[in-house]
Structure 1
């Protein structure tokens, strides 16, 4: 998935996100930091990979 980043510590996602890369100049272009500053990438990741825990994905 290519998007605005991902909150890999999100409780609905943290068990299912296995990695990522930063392709922007955000965070000094550090490829290992793919923080989602917009929320969109985390939302899309939730549609794809959220854990079915009976709770809504809140970004």
Structure 2
């Protein structure tokens, strides 16, 4: 929705769900493209690091 004062669009709010064993490229590619037009939020049920399929946390 456009801001009534400035007429500019607010950035998209995009949530990306993390899960143990996800592939980092499946997160990084879309986040890179969508991040140009919005704010990316990473979501998981706890604040603990989430490991990828390659062990990256």
Higher strand share: 2
TM value normalised by structure 1: 0.25
Indicate the structure (1 or 2) with the bigger Cα radius of gyration.
2
Higher helix share: 1
